[in-house]
Structure 1
């Protein structure tokens, strides 16, 4: 897996040499020279080549955006197929996380590759309906890590129903 080059390591008001950029981002100097050849602008043609920090930040953000996919709520990004696809309904799991988030995992319908996505816990039922899953969400599709739902105990019966 490749390392993401974070533009947060670069200061906008500073000029960098090729070696400075490679040390700041943790990449090889030849990688930076390849970026220059592909389209990263330089300050002038004199040696050493100077790269403006603001230009470098913009270049890294554009480079990262080119890799991202636009997904709908019920779709996930498959990096093997290189597109947004609907996961296989039988393989979808929602894992509750902190701060109202859910970790959605599933398998790609086309290639069988594993996919991950973080969604809001409030949208889990809407996503499940879009995937044409059977209602209510089966217990096997919902993994709660040490958290009990206050309004819906799966393994028990309400005290007033006994």
Structure 2
């Protein structure tokens, strides 16, 4: 079962029973009842309990927001510490992604746990200098998949996938 409940699976103009919600989201019915005890509003208290789709969607989005962490531009989210931390600059890598994005990944400077974040490719040089790196960025910190972006400072394209 999924640990994330996708609110886009819920239709806002429909009423759901506890069982229908559990089947739609792939969670146990007891989980849905726990959401009701935690504040998810029901239409009325008679059985079967009916939940308006708009209320459920709002509840799931609000629940997801409570777990999200905002990182500063020079921080990564550490999976071990469960909070934003400064990365070890030697372990830092920028992986080029489609649509001008970069996957910034490395190790936490404190606990050496895995850490990552997605940033705009335009911000890579600024982030690198804020972390204390020298320009141009060392080739070992940049991984390009397929083709190079237009604003890429180096002339070489790297493919990190093993053949």
TM-score (normalised: structure 1): 0.88
**Counterparts in 2 of 1:149 and 1:29: CA distance versus 1, 3 Å:** closer
Tell me which residue corresponds to 1:158: none
**Counterparts in 2 of 1:21 and 1:92: CA distance versus 1, 3 Å:** same
Pairs within 5 Å for 1:39-54: 39-54=39-54
Tell me which residue corresponds to 2:110: 110
Tell me which residue corresponds to 2:90: 90
Q: What do the CA deviations read for 1:72-103 (whole angstroms, capped 9, x no partner)?
A: 11111123212111111111001112221111
Q: Partner of 1:4: helix, strand, or coil? A: coil
Between the aligned partners of 1:128 and 1:143, the Cα distance in structure 2 is 14
The structure with more radius of gyration: 1
Between the aligned partners of 1:145 and 1:13, the Cα distance in structure 2 is 43
TM-score (normalised: structure 2): 0.87
Between the aligned partners of 2:94 and 2:110, the Cα distance in structure 1 is 21
Q: Partner of 2:90: helix, strand, or coil? A: helix
Q: Partner of 2:125: helix, strand, or coil? A: helix
Runs of 4+ in structure 1 off by over 6 angstroms are: none
Shift of 1:134: 2.2
Between the aligned partners of 1:149 and 1:10, the Cα distance in structure 2 is 38
Between the aligned partners of 1:9 and 1:144, the Cα distance in structure 2 is 34
Coordinate RMSD, CA, aligned: 1.9
Tell me which residue corresponds to 1:80: 80
Pairs within 5 Å for 1:141-156: 141-148=141-148, 152-154=154-156
What stretches of structure 2 of length at least 5 have no aligned partner? 158-163
Between the aligned partners of 1:6 and 1:154, the Cα distance in structure 2 is 40
